[in-house]
Structure 1
Amino acid sequence: MDITKISIKRPVAIMMVMFIIIILGAVSITKMEMELTPETEMSMVMIMTTYEDAGPEEVENLVTEKIESAVANVENVESISSTSSEGSSMVSIEFNYGTNLDTAITDLRDKLSMVEATLPDGCDSPNIMKMDMNSMPIATIVVSGDDMTSDELKSFAEDDIEPRLERQEGVASVDIMGGTEQEILIEIDPERLEGLGLTMTSIGQTLSAENSNQSGGSISYGEKSMTISTKLQMESIEDVKNTPIQIADGTVMRLGDIATVTETQKEITSISRYNGESCVTLSVTQSSDGNTVTAVNNILDEVEKLNAEYPDMTIEVVSESGSTIEDSRV
């Protein structure tokens, strides 16, 4: 069919067709719903599983890893990240853009039903949720490094990345998950403590006085031990050992002379992984008066600078909402 010849031979008919199209377009515009912040369906799903009274390592081994293995073969999965914390498992699944989430969730349910029977007793059934853009962080960043221990990785995220992200325009806060921390354990024989005229409380007060910038730590102990948070101004375990302690007769002794002071790993409260690899995750929350696009662009620029400064580290923005908003303008 030659459209050009028909248009020349029947100009009135062509004009009528164009007129009808214009009228329909005008009517459609008046019927179109418009919002300042329209609802947007994200290609992301979260699987939440509760396993009460279980520690993070137990949750990871008995729940999270099984769920990750089950859903890894679902079609159109782009990435999988997870956080195992005390009593709960959270697995986030990002699908390729354009994936039908209803179909994807049906596939996920089928996969999860195959492993649900293998989950430990007392573990609730996995709960699948679509992600709501308004409740999501504006950016999620994962940090890993082959030459760093887990506690070094977390310290790097807290000391070198978190402060720089929080200084960016439009950023309210940064939450860190995963990694481990070190703490100092002080063990004292109760009988010797009594003989020196000391109490656990008095030693704790002395440590706080020697370390005036300590941020609200707590001291807890069993029959023969006391735990001190490592969020101290003191820079090493030797500083703690050298803390002067005045006993009942006025003599001053080093804490290390009357107690056993050791450095150990703090109880793990969360475990973070991205595509099966251990990492530290930073979730960036937008300030109430911030602009999402501006804040995300600032974050992306800062992460690029961090990668240039620390070439041995892997610092990756795995999800952000700025691109989604910019794409919607096209």
Structure 2
Amino acid sequence: MSGLKQMASASSAGASVITLQFQLSLPLDIAEQEVQAAINASMNYLPDDLPDPPVYNKVNPADPPIMTLAVTTQSLPLTQVEDLVETRIAQKISQVTGVGMVTLAGGQRPAIRISLNAPALAALGLTSEDIRTAIGAANVNTPKGSLDGPERSLTLSANDQLKNAEDYRQLIISYRNNAPVRLGDVATVTQGAENQWLGAWNNGQGAIVMNVLRQPGANIIATADNIRALLPLCKAACRPQ
């Protein structure tokens, strides 16, 4: 890309962040177009089961957040709060003029937690790798069949991926003595947080924290005022339907 000065990347389980720095003489709108074009050109090289397409944000990594917001509740678990914040509140705030990016802290992303019973596995001649393989195979989203006609053929697809703890408990991982062995027979399966060792607090109460970064050159006061004006709508969007 023309005008690209420096590129750095950092990867972790399930995520990769690439930071691009451009020459000051390059208009940001031009850089934005080139980044989007590069993303589009790379789509064929990305995994087919990628949960979400790549996105980009215009921010200055050296800038501190212009606003930090904490979301708390006494009526919902923090795993549900994070889901609401990520899908409703953060999405609305990210559309405010002047906002470059909204990041979350608190580490309560919803997840299914599986604790294996080692003696039960050993008694059945199973290993943790057997469990991993069975779970991976159960979550592969592939076509289920096809309808063939004289002029065209249609592919049949259905979303039968596992969605909750009970679905995982009933997953058949093997057969012993002509009887199915289910995941719930050899493991404790619960609905919890992706990383139970992370957390954030506000006034002693568990919270999901949002850090708001501005776009380069955006007016801090005007952007913050626009966010404050939006907060009542964000609160209303999170009320139970």
Give me the TM-score of the superposition, normalised by structure 1.
0.39
Contact kept, 8 Å, 1:196 with 1:247, in 2: the verdict is no
- Give the alignment's Cα RMSD to 1 decimal: 3.6
1:26-83 CA-partner distances (Å, limit 9, x unpaired)? xxxxxxxxxxxxxxxxxxxxxxxxxxxxxxxxxxxxxxxxxxxxxxxxxxxxxxxxxx
Question: Following the alignment from structure 2 to structure 1, what is the Cα–Cα distance between the partners of residues 140 and 66?
Answer: 36
Select which of 237, 260, 267 maps to 2:188.
260
Select which of 237, 259, 279 maps to 2:165.
237
Structure 2 residue 136 is the aligned partner of structure 1 residue 208:
yes
Rate the CA distance shift 1:278–1:167 in 2: closer, same or farther, 3 A. same
**Residue 207 of structure 2: SS of its match in structure 1?**
strand
Structure 2 residue 110 is the aligned partner of structure 1 residue 184:
no
Bigger Rg, structure 1 or 2: 1
Q: CA deviation at 1:149?
A: 3.6
- Paired AA for residue 99 in structure 2: V
Contact kept, 8 Å, 1:179 with 1:272, in 2: the verdict is no
Rate the CA distance shift 1:201–1:158 in 2: closer, same or farther, 3 A. same
**Residue 227 of structure 2: SS of its match in structure 1?**
helix
Normalized per residue, the structure richer in helix is: 1
Question: Following the alignment from structure 1 to structure 2, what is the Cα–Cα distance between the partners of residues 259 and 146?
Answer: 30
Unaligned runs of 5+ in 2: 1-61, 142-160
Structure 2 residue 74 is the aligned partner of structure 1 residue 139:
no
Instruction: Tell me what 1:154 maps to.
Output: 82
- Paired AA for residue 271 in structure 1: A
1:133-154 CA-partner distances (Å, limit 9, x unpaired)? x732122212222333444433
1:73-100 CA-partner distances (Å, limit 9, x unpaired)? xxxxxxxxxxxxxxxxxxxxxxxxxxxx
Instruction: Tell me what 2:94 maps to.
Output: 166
Question: Following the alignment from structure 2 to structure 1, what is the Cα–Cα distance between the partners of residues 80 and 187?
Answer: 27
Does 1 or 2 have the higher relative contact order (CA < 8 Å, sep 6+)?
2
1:56-205 map, 5 Å: 135-178=63-106, 180=108, 183-190=112-119, 192-205=120-133
Contact kept, 8 Å, 1:176 with 1:282, in 2: the verdict is yes
Instruction: Tell me what 1:299 maps to.
Output: 227
- Paired AA for residue 189 in structure 1: A
- Paired AA for residue 300 in structure 1: R
- Paired AA for residue 100 in structure 2: A
Question: Following the alignment from structure 1 to structure 2, what is the Cα–Cα distance between the partners of residues 277 and 310?
Answer: 19
Question: Following the alignment from structure 1 to structure 2, what is the Cα–Cα distance between the partners of residues 279 and 195?
Answer: 42
Contact kept, 8 Å, 1:137 with 1:285, in 2: the verdict is yes
- Paired AA for residue 196 in structure 2: E
Rate the CA distance shift 1:143–1:248 in 2: closer, same or farther, 3 A. same
Instruction: Tell me what 2:200 maps to.
Output: 271
Rate the CA distance shift 1:172–1:234 in 2: closer, same or farther, 3 A. farther
Contact kept, 8 Å, 2:71 with 2:209, in 1: the verdict is yes
Question: Following the alignment from structure 2 to structure 1, what is the Cα–Cα distance between the partners of residues 206 and 126?
Answer: 44
Question: Following the alignment from structure 2 to structure 1, what is the Cα–Cα distance between the partners of residues 78 and 95?
Answer: 25
The number of residues matched between the two structures is 158
Instruction: Tell me what 2:44 maps to.
Output: none
Q: CA deviation at 1:283?
A: 0.6
Contact kept, 8 Å, 1:245 with 1:252, in 2: the verdict is yes
Contact kept, 8 Å, 1:142 with 1:280, in 2: the verdict is yes
Give me the TM-score of the superposition, normalised by structure 2.
0.50
Instruction: Tell me what 2:212 maps to.
Output: 284
Unaligned runs of 5+ in 1: 1-133, 214-232, 313-330
Rate the CA distance shift 1:288–1:143 in 2: closer, same or farther, 3 A. same
Q: CA deviation at 1:165?
A: 2.5
Contact kept, 8 Å, 2:88 with 2:237, in 1: the verdict is no
Contact kept, 8 Å, 1:143 with 1:279, in 2: the verdict is yes
Contact kept, 8 Å, 2:65 with 2:212, in 1: the verdict is yes
